[in-house]
A and B are shown apart, each in its own frame.
Chain A
Amino acid sequence: MSVPLTLLGLLEREPSHGYDLKRDYDTYFGRGRPLPFGQVYATLGRLARDGKVVMGEVGPGEGPDRKRYVITELGATEVRTWLSEPVEPEPHLQTVLFAKVVLTLMLGRPAEEYLDLQRAAHLRRMRELTEIKRGDSLVDGLLADHGLFHLEADLRWIELTTARLEQLAKAVRS
């Protein structure tokens, strides 16, 4: 998650105070890892230095939260470019799962039992995510869906690998 680009994106909606940006970031993107205030203001400072945001009018009161930040054309262009670029597909070709299966077979141990345990662990996590999906928040549900589809992909790999264990054992022991 790119914090500077996400904050810029939030600013493109409307000029905002640092506090509002932190609140919205934590609500939609933080997921149990709130953004420290220090990081919010340090990031905004760097974005201002690079000409991507400017300070708007200063409200009454004291402290840094008096400042409203406004996105510049440069910042808006950067957000538009970022949002239009596809994310790098991550094939995860060297996963721990893969390494454990291959090593288990190399060592002559029963990989099927490991895969059964892994399947159970995946399904347990999928049940937790399904419970989240069945809650009221569509945003939480959408994020849970992302996790569910990835876990499902792992499970398909587990099923296929289970079906090919004999062949795989021969291949890695030869």
Chain B
Amino acid sequence: MVLGKIASALALLTPLAAVAAPAIDGEVERQAVNPTAIVMFLIFVAATLAITWWAARRTRSSKDFYTAGGEITGLQNGTAIAGDFMSAASFLGITGLIFLGGFDGLVLALGAFSAWPLMLFLLAKRVRNLGSFTFVDVVSMRLDRTPIRIVALLGTVTVVVLYLIAQMVGAGKLIELLFGLPYNVAVISVSILVLAYVTFGGMLATTWVQIIKAILLITGVTICAFLVMKEVGFSIDALLAGAADNHPRGMAILSPGVLFRDPVQIATILVSMMFGTLGLPHILMRLFTVPNMHEAKKSALYASLFMGYFYLAIIVLGFGTAYLLYNNPQFFDAQGKIIGGSNMAAIHLANAVGGDLLTGFMSAVSFATILAVVAGLTVSGAAAIAHDLYAEVLCKGKPDHKTEMRLTRITTIAIGIIAVILGILFQNENVAFIATMPMVVAASVNFPILFLSLFWSGLTTRGSISGALVGLVSSVALIVIGPQVWVSVLGHEAPLFPYNYPALFTLPLALVVTWSVSVSDRSERGKVDRDNYHDLLIRSEFGPQDGVLEVARH
């Protein structure tokens, strides 16, 4: 029973756990200690700690801490964004879904990738020109700063905490499986390492951890894909033919319809993934780590290039698992289920084509991946509390900088401790729904506020707050009455709402409420909010020197 949950919990690493979870089953034993993986991981840890030591000497101010002093280049930042976003879920989860259902697994890859063009077209320049540390800076610029900051902060903290719980529980189970370490030791190890990176090295160390991780992940995926293609004489057709021959569902895996059939379900996934990504605070925060708007745009492009390559290579890996694993009994248990569940398919593939060395490397990369993502979340959470709440709300934008830095580090440590506690508390619970929420909340709360504040002159504080609260409440309510909670957690026979990812419904609802409340807002503050748009617009396109939002500071 407990071991079965190990496989299920691996799905928590993906924001699309609700999609992946039903596909994951199988009793698994904790794996024997893998010395190759541990040695490779220790090399990674040593290198990243050395970078942290270097970064710590350069992290003096809150600007250094939150945005690495704004001195990261576009290429570095694009690589770090890719490192932040290409989680273990992308590598293990999507490959596992293709192993199970063929083509259908790719919907997650498309969803994960496609937010990046919109990040470039819509957000990169304007957000970069308007903000300083977080996206909350941007949305509070033209609106009544205290209430809108508190609401946006609520959205940020909700997303970060839920994302963090999902990562920590998934990480503990994954490391237990890959490295043979006990769950609690795994969770505490992740937290200690992340605390070391973030507390001392801030965003600079976090950025380099993410860059190294991205390079390792892309290298590993490339090697695996090359070795798979070598097996089939570098013919995609031969790979697909072999996969169809060996997979129990045969030719069906080459086309849609094995895992998903309902087009509305696909639409809910696509909306949640695209607009959720555009509202993730730790991803938006990366736009401020570059020195200028030009580098911010380059960041988005480089991130797209790396991720585009990665998700195309995942096709080879996914169908490679179907081709090479199904006819190899060493990867299946006595009941005929794949050892470790479908999320282990990518690791088994590494074993099939590269032996213990490649398995160890890919296991170490998976661990590094978790560290990079958790580090990014921790910086974002610390910025939300120390910058958005303390410096901007409580101190009205005039904080004592030493106190702010001290608070930042205390918050970081607190987040690390909270992450361990929550990770341990939730370890035996069915918390797949927690992994669902961050993307839906980000899509239904953060994205509408951010988008409308940048592109609609009629937006008012009252409208934003109403829309955000409706987005938050409706997201949580529909998830609770959906299959993940209503059926899987509460034990009812059928869900009251049929979809796991309600953003297709909650995002338009939030937009409509924001619009209707804003247009009917006749308050004095509403007039100020609308008048502020002119200055905000000019500043968003021409930079801070051209537009000064004096009114917004009132």
A and B bound? Answer: no
Residues of chain B at the chain A interface (Cβ within 8 Å): none
Residues of chain A at the chain B interface (Cβ within 8 Å): none
